[in-house]
Amino acid sequence: MSDPAGTIAQEAVLLSASGVSKRFGGVQALRDVSLTIRRGEVYGLIGPNGAGKTSFFNVLTGLYSPDEGRVTFDGRDLPPGVPHRIAGAGIARTFQNIRLFGAMSALENVMVGRHIRLRTGVIGAILRTPAARAEEAATEARAHELLRYVGIDQLANQQATHLSYGDQRRLEIARALASEPKLLALDEPAAGMNATETGGLRTLIEKLRGDGLTVLLIEHDVKLVMGLCDRVAVLDYGEKIAEDVPDVVRRHPRVITAYLGQQADPEAA
Amino acid sequence: MTLPGDPKLRARLGIVLIGIALAVLPFVVGANFGNSWVRIIDFALLYVMLALGLNIVVGFAGLLDLGYIAFYAVGAYLYALLSSPHLATAFPAVFASAPAWSVWLVLPLGALVAGLFGVLLGTPTLKLRGDYLAIVTLGFGEIIRIFLNNLNAPLNLTNGPQGINNIQSAEIAGQSLGRSFELFGLQIPSVTAHYYFFLALTLLVIFICVRLQDSRLGRAWVAIREDELAARACGINTRNVKLLAFGLGATFGGVAGGLFAGFQGFVSPESFGLLESIMVLCMVVLGGMGHIAGVILGALLLALLPEVLRWGAAPVQQWLFGKVLVDPESLRLLLFGVALVLVMRWRPAGLWPSALRKRELAAHAEVA
């Protein structure tokens, strides 16, 4: 397997996974997956159902520890299996099945997202020290800013579960952005969206790229991925079968096989 | 009567009125109903503290704790050991005389030790939720009680089932709260003095709860309650934040326990059974989980209601049927149970739920 990390300048690399494997009982969910995400790009990860996309995603964000391999992020090894430290290192994520804090308002959801960047402890909170008060005010202001950024600030005081599906997706992105990530990882953000909502999502991701954020996008919507991503990797049965710009990946024979199946062997027929 | 329009002014006026009401309450109650009712109110205040402490664990962080009364026991026994002649009697070689620690030392120490016990319980249960956590915490509560019951041999630390008596009342500014005394020409009975002492500490507990709720930590607790996985992905160190909830909740229990021991003058393992844990949990659930004002209401109601029923059941029967048909003591529990069932049937979110929680339950109902 070629190592693209060797061909590009080291500073340009934000994340590199090398030889990541993960097994669940008899199922090899990931087999020796290596890939490199460069700063400022939108990187797509696609594959048929059960290809290991979400498993890889969970290894990356610390929900699973890999059996083998390691992940370097921003020049440092990621601690495997410690989600809050990975969030602190600068990877924020959204979930395939939206996971908001249902009983909280949209604003509070985003404020929770900022938790890792805040310092107030028990004593500060009880005494409401000037530092704690300033931090709290700044957090609220920043949360409003992010809600405005994703376009739902008018819903700030609505309960999260009462938002429409598309707005919940946006809220989840705002919450992820609140932790000031260097890499925003979106797990099937367009799942269940109609064409208008997908269009809005695309605009939002383009805006994020325009503002210099690196985005990892796992998606079923091949059209969205091909139209949006700078580079795409394809997983099949836990293995990376291709990694390149969308136009090359689209014509890659193994990708076509993975998605459409192999042409029947004429001699066997 | 017209109220001033400005809401800020109105809120301030409300606080002043409530303050005056709370200040004269023991005198009004004592003069009209006798001091035993002031004593009942004192106990209600202790239950408010307990319920608020448990609310941090169950209401905010969503960790079902059925052994909460253990922390109350820890606080009570610590106070008892440090303010009674028991240690001097049991270990004359070590303790020359009965310890006479200031209440301002014993209470914080009780809070600290109870908090440590809270962390001790929290550590092995970090990965448990819901029913499983409930069973483990229930076991923990029983373990503490059984220890207290049996730690009279080989070393007589707790005096076993007989309990520890002769506990000194709290002494504030040189004045023991255990006897009635005169202040500014007013005769202050012991129960009234305790009332003000408990009230001050209850207000402190409420203040701490409100401040914590509106902070980064309060949000983190609710986030864990709502979705632990998402909370972790948001960078919340769920281990530390949960342990903090256990520890802080236990701290309040420890303070209430110390106050209980000093007030009662006697502690025994009987006071810390499973039913007490369930009672405090009922207060939290009935009042409105996670809503401070609701929890206070729940605690006051459940602490006072049985006494009111006990007091009123016999005269009402006399008036209705001409004789007492059902023993007030058994009727009390029956009515209590009926009241709980009715509340859960008609107000499942509690008597006074927080606005968001109410909406959440409504949303669940829509889905179902």
Task: Provide the CATH number for the domain around residue A51.
Answer: 3.40.50.300
Q: Answer whether A132 touches B (CB < 8 Å).
A: yes
Q: Is A128 in Cβ contact with B226 (below 8 Å)?
A: no
Q: Answer whether B363 touches A (CB < 8 Å).
A: yes
In a domain, B200, yes or no: yes
Q: Is B217 in Cβ contact with A120 (below 8 Å)?
A: yes
Indicate the range of B91-95, B121-125, B211-215 predicted with least confidence: B91-95
Q: Report the residue of chain A nearest B210, measured CA to CA.
A: A126
Q: Report the residue of chain A nearest B225, measured CA to CA.
A: A101
Q: Answer whether B345 touches A (CB < 8 Å).
A: no
In sequence order, the β-bridge partners of residue B273 are none
Domain of residue B195, residue span: 28-301
Q: How many domains does chain B have?
A: 1
In a domain, B331, yes or no: no
**Token code pair at residue A232:** 């795409």
Percentage with pLDDT > 90 across chain A = 67
In this structure, the answer to whether residues A189 and A261 fall within a common structural domain is yes
Rg of chain A taking only CA atoms, in angstroms: 20
In this structure, the answer to whether residues A215 and A262 fall within a common structural domain is yes
Q: Residues in chain A with pLDDT < 50?
A: 1-6, 268-269
Q: Answer whether B107 touches A (CB < 8 Å).
A: no
Res. B198: pLDDT tops 60: yes
Residue B310 to residues A156, B39, B327, B328, B332, Cα–Cα distance (Å): 49, 15, 9, 6, 6
Residues with Cβ within 8 Å of residue A178, at least 6 apart in sequence: A110, A111, A112, A113, A114, A117, A142, A143, A146
For the segment B96-116, what is each residue's pLDDT rounded down to a tens digit?
777 778 889 999 999 999 999
In this structure, the answer to whether residues A185 and A265 fall within a common structural domain is yes
For the segment A16-70, what is each residue's pLDDT rounded down to a tens digit?
999 999 999 888 999 999 999 999 999 999 988 888 898 999 999 988 999 999 9
Other C-beta atoms lying within 10 Å of the C-beta of residue A207: 13
Other C-beta atoms lying within 10 Å of the C-beta of residue B275: 9
**Token code pair at residue B270:** 């009987």
Q: Where residue B323 falls among pLDDT bands split at 50, 70, 90?
A: confident
Closest partner CB to B360 (pick from A103, A120, A132): A103
In a domain, A67, yes or no: yes
In this structure, the answer to whether residues A80 and A112 fall within a common structural domain is no
Q: Report the residue of chain B nearest A86, measured CA to CA.
A: B235
Percentage with pLDDT > 70 across chain B = 95
Q: Is A159 in Cβ contact with B236 (below 8 Å)?
A: no
In a domain, B9, yes or no: no
CA distance B216 to chain A (A): 7
Q: Answer whether B52 touches A (CB < 8 Å).
A: no
In this structure, the answer to whether residues A237 and A264 fall within a common structural domain is yes
pLDDT at position B139? 94
Q: Is A128 in Cβ contact with B217 (below 8 Å)?
A: no
In a domain, A97, yes or no: no
In this structure, the answer to whether residues A78 and A188 fall within a common structural domain is yes
In this structure, the answer to whether residues A86 and A132 fall within a common structural domain is no
CA B195 from centre of chain:
15
Q: Which long-range contacts (CB under 8 A, 24 or more apart) does B207-214 make?
A: B207/A126, B208/A126, B209/B52, B209/B55, B209/B56, B209/B292, B210/B292, B211/A125, B211/A126, B211/A127, B211/A128, B212/A122, B212/A125, B212/A126, B212/B56, B212/B248, B213/B60, B213/B292
Q: Report the alpha-carbon distance of residue B87 to residue B90 in Å, rounded.
A: 5
Q: Answer whether A84 touches B (CB < 8 Å).
A: yes
Q: Answer whether A93 touches B (CB < 8 Å).
A: yes
In a domain, B326, yes or no: no
Q: Answer whether B115 touches A (CB < 8 Å).
A: no
pLDDT at position B358? 59
Q: Is B360 in Cβ contact with A111 (below 8 Å)?
A: no
Identify the CA nearest to A193 among candidates A155, A229, A160, A220: A220
Closest partner CB to B222 (pick from A103, A113, A126): A103
Of A174, A192, A222, at which residue does a domain stop?
A174
Q: Answer whether B218 touches A (CB < 8 Å).
A: yes
For the segment B14-40, what is each residue's pLDDT rounded down to a tens digit?
999 999 999 999 999 988 988 999 999
In a domain, B297, yes or no: yes
Phi, psi of B353 (to 5 degrees): -75, 160
CA distance A258 to chain B (A): 31
In a domain, B14, yes or no: no
Cα-Cα-Cα-Cα torsion A148, A149, A155, A160, nearest 10 degrees, comes to -140
Q: Report the alpha-carbon distance of residue B136 to residue B17 in Å, rounded.
A: 44
Torsion region of A238: left, alpha or beta (phi above 0 gives left; psi -120 to 50 gives alpha): left
In a domain, A96, yes or no: no
Residues of B in contact with A175 (CB under 8 A): 234
In a domain, A95, yes or no: no
Q: Report the alpha-carbon distance of residue A233 to residue A214 in Å, rounded.
A: 15
In a domain, B310, yes or no: no
pLDDT at position B172? 86
In a domain, B216, yes or no: yes
Other C-beta atoms lying within 10 Å of the C-beta of residue B317: 17
In a domain, A98, yes or no: no
Residues of A in contact with B217 (CB under 8 A): 120-122, 125
Q: How many domains does chain A have?
A: 2
Q: Answer whether A111 touches B (CB < 8 Å).
A: yes
CA distance B149 to chain A (A): 35
Of A174, A196, A220, at which residue does a domain stop?
A174
Q: CB-based burial of residue B320 (10 Å sphere; 0-12 exposed, 13-18 middle, 19+ buried)? A: exposed
Q: Is A113 in Cβ contact with B248 (below 8 Å)?
A: no
**Which of A59, A98, A117, A126 to mutate against chain B (most B CBs within 10 Å)?**
A126
Q: Report the residue of chain A nearest B358, measured CA to CA.
A: A103
Res. B2: pLDDT tops 60: no
Q: Report the alpha-carbon distance of residue B64 to residue B53 in Å, rounded.
A: 13
| Three-state secondary-structure class, residue A108 | helix
For the segment B229-255, what is each residue's pLDDT rounded down to a tens digit?
999 999 999 999 999 999 999 999 999
Q: Answer whether A61 touches B (CB < 8 Å).
A: yes
Of A174, A206, A236, at which residue does a domain stop?
A174
Domain of residue A203, residue span: 1-90+181-269
CA distance A87 to chain B (A): 5
Residues of A in contact with B208 (CB under 8 A): 126
Q: Which residue has the tokens 């009364």?
A: B69
Residues of A in contact with B216 (CB under 8 A): 115, 118, 120, 125, 135-136, 139
